[in-house]
Structure 1
């Protein structure tokens, strides 16, 4: 708090306010002692014919108390934010090595490596799952049975229809139910191991094997 506006200030009281006895210059902030000294100087230099009224004096004190309370609240909030950040770091450490289910449909795999996840079914029935390579070719077709609406788990062994291990690369999983005009595209969630966790200004970011970095908000389940 650098200044306080009053109903009856005098220019000399504000302009001449300093600390000659200490040799210190005024800082940008004003403490309680500074405020009281300013009030004393103001009362000493006020117009005797128009003195500061009690209500105005109390109003200035209330204004200073309000600002001081806000500053104390800000300090408390900063301390709370620091505690929460430390707690978040501890929680992040416990996630490393676990599996996360993320709302993405593409994953980078090594040669012959498989993948797993789940499909969000809208109704019971058979779901067609196509595994597509980076060139847009369907390298494997799978049928996934959904007993009801909701998550339907799936697993792929990393091989083509002939049982040959596929090369390393990025593979996309496309799921649909029904056929013809009744065909419906379904959301796919991939499972990946959490290699590490980064604490960014926007929150926790999970570094997943084969999926890269994803914000915690995109994670649907951690197993």
Structure 2
């Protein structure tokens, strides 16, 4: 009586073929990975898809790619492509923003602006009077503005009388207390208010001319280069005039 083994297994040729197929798969994936890494750049969507296709073409017929893993890789590819598209959109928006900044900056050159500062360049010989603003904090206060030249000497004192709380405009004709016309240059303006309880320092807003504009390469704030005053951020500008 003879006994026959009914359980069939892979033949030697099949085992060798599967081994060769697995070796070919490993070599193909290694070659694809080397091609991607040899480019010296980050893994992009084209390289990702190349690796995925190579993996599918050289998968083991007896142990094919799992459907769950395949769907997960496709989801990763979709996420990668979405991030790439988003990055391109952000770069486009950034470029448009920088162009808008350059256009805005070019329109400011030569204009007069009102900024929060205690110093201003004044040309008393000019036909235009020098106008400024002082912010009064308390009602029924008496603001006083002391004007000092570059040598630290007080050349003029302006008494604005009793004022209500808020912004109060003042005008200086470029003359000292004796009525003499002063030279052009930088002058400091110190404002304070006198009340029944004491003296309080006040904030002044003074005019200046924009000579040039500095744009930030990183998308930061525009810096205005003012005549005789240096640079100041555009966020500190209260009013833009002619």
Counterpart of 1:100?
113
Corresponding position: 1:175 with 2:188: no
Corresponding position: 1:122 with 2:148: no
Please state how far the C-alpha of 1:110 moved relative to its aligned partner: 4.5
**For the structure 1 residues 67 and 36, does the alpha-carbon distance in structure 2 shift closer, same or farther, using more than 3 Å as the test?**
closer
Q: What secondary structure, in the 3-state scheme, does the structure 2 residue paired with 1:142 have?
A: strand
Aligned mates of 1:179, 1:85 — CA distance in 2: 49
Please state how far the C-alpha of 1:86 moved relative to its aligned partner: 1.6
Please state how far the C-alpha of 1:169 moved relative to its aligned partner: 3.6
Please state how far the C-alpha of 1:64 moved relative to its aligned partner: 1.5
Counterpart of 2:54?
41
Please state how far the C-alpha of 1:68 moved relative to its aligned partner: 1.5
Aligned mates of 1:36, 1:156 — CA distance in 2: 73
1:89 counterpart (87, 102, 113):
102
Q: In the TM superposition, what are the counterparts of 1:18-33 in structure 2 within 5 Å?
A: 26=39, 28-30=41-43, 32-33=45-46
Please state how far the C-alpha of 1:221 moved relative to its aligned partner: 1.6
TM-score, normalisation: structure 2 = 0.74
Unaligned runs of 5+ in 1: 1-9
Residues 181-212 of structure 1 show CA distances to partners (whole Å, capped at 9, x for unaligned) of: 51100011111122333323323222223323
Q: In the TM superposition, what are the counterparts of 1:157-176 in structure 2 within 5 Å?
A: 157-176=173-192
Unaligned runs of 5+ in 2: 1-24
TM-score, normalisation: structure 1 = 0.79
Bigger radius of gyration, 1 or 2?
2
Q: What secondary structure, in the 3-state scheme, does the structure 2 residue paired with 1:163 have?
A: coil
Please state how far the C-alpha of 1:156 moved relative to its aligned partner: 1.4
Q: What secondary structure, in the 3-state scheme, does the structure 2 residue paired with 1:162 have?
A: coil
Quick check: 89-98 or 119-128, which moved more? 89-98
Give 1 or 2: higher helix fraction. 2
Count of aligned pairs = 210
Corresponding position: 1:208 with 2:226: yes
Corresponding position: 1:194 with 2:207: no
RMSD: 2.8
Residues 135-174 of structure 1 show CA distances to partners (whole Å, capped at 9, x for unaligned) of: 3221110012464322111121221100112234432111
Please state how far the C-alpha of 1:107 moved relative to its aligned partner: 2.1
